[in-house]
Amino acid sequence: MPHEIWAGARRVERVVYVTGVVLMVSGVVHLGVFAVDGGPREGPVSWRKAVTFGLSFGLTLVTIAWVSSYVRLSGRARTVLLGAFTVACVLETALVTTQAWRRVPSHFDLETPFDGTVARTLAAGGALIVAVIAALTVAAFRAAPGVAPSMRLAVRAGFVFLDVALLIGVVMIVRGMTAVFGGDQERAYAVGGFLKAAHAATMHEILVLPLLARLLAATGRSEARRVRTVTALTALCAVAASAVTVESATEMSSSLVTATLSVLIATTALTLAETVWAGWHH
């Protein structure tokens, strides 16, 4: 499948794919740095941020380039949106990684003019990402000729989940910056990430759901059955994301979240395994 995706990709999509892989390599390299250098796993100053931003932004960049191929866009609009998204992802990862090497926080840090510029640029980059994903979401809900209903459902649901993840990110930034402007820098680091788990829980359904739809298409199942399968997994993802969000917002016991995520992970793994098996024997 990767070869088919690359062979059928437009020029702009190939550029995005390569850039996404570079960002993921950066994340892996910094995982090695983290393992050698050590340091805290949590907190505003940690190699973990360079690792997670590289891997997550790289994977998201590759995912958006692929998923957008199922969205009805003009050539110009596709180039502008993917180009802007790529610039924003590279900028966010580069700035966070730079601050990790400088051993200073990347977000909510206004201690020096340079750090303040970084924090504001990260906020601007985040705003650009929100705008691009919002535009792609709107485009995804327009009719796209030649796209199977199961894939349309997966793409649309995936973009909605991603919109929620970005909205959660905005809420965290606003809450953190409110603390900063209130004169409490340390509190900004504590409250700014209070929905971090919910943010992560809604980020990558944009990959999981379309990937499931793509695998289902190779099994020869009826389209009605494919739609039911995608719908079921979408509902499970929504339940899991809701549980994580409630736990994060209320600081309740994580037992419910653990149980819900365990069921989701097991169900997803079994669904994907069964789908791949059916496709192999088709």
My answer on whether 128 and 166 are in the same domain is no
Q: Does residue 125 share a domain with residue 227? A: no
**Quick one: 141 and 157 in the same domain?**
no
Residues 27-45: pLDDT tens digits? 999 999 999 988 888 777 8
Q: CB of 201 within 8 A of CB of 249? A: no
Burial of residue 191, with CB atoms counted within 10 A of its CB: 0-12 exposed, 13-18 middle, 19 or more buried: middle
What is the pLDDT confidence band of residue 58, given thresholds at 50, 70 and 90?
Answer: very high
Domain boundary residue, one of 92, 116, 145: 145
Domain final residue, candidates 113, 145, 177: 145
CB atoms within 10 A of CB 53: 23
In terms of domains, do 16 and 110 share one?
yes
| Kind plus residue range of the DSSP H or E element containing 86 | helix 75-102
pLDDT of residue 21: 96
152-163: burial string, b at 16+ Cβ within 10 Å, e else: bbbbbbbbbbbb
Q: Which domain holds residue 59?
A: 1-145
The pLDDT mean for the chain works out to: 84
Residues 1 and 121 in one domain: yes
What is the model's pLDDT at position 116? 87
> Is the same domain home to 107 and 164?
no
Express as a percent the part of the chain with pLDDT over 90: 47
Question: Six-digit token pair at 73?
Answer: 């866009």
**pLDDT digit string (tens) for 106-117?**
887 778 899 889
Q: Which of 120, 145, 170 is the last residue of a domain?
A: 145
| 243: enclosing H helix or E strand | helix 223-250
Same domain for 93 and 162? no
Residues 100 and 160 in one domain: no
Number of domains in the chain: 2
Average pLDDT over every residue of 265-276: 59
Whether 181 and 126 share a structural domain:
no
pLDDT in tens, 139-194: 999 877 889 999 999 999 999 999 999 998 888 888 877 777 776 666 766 666 66
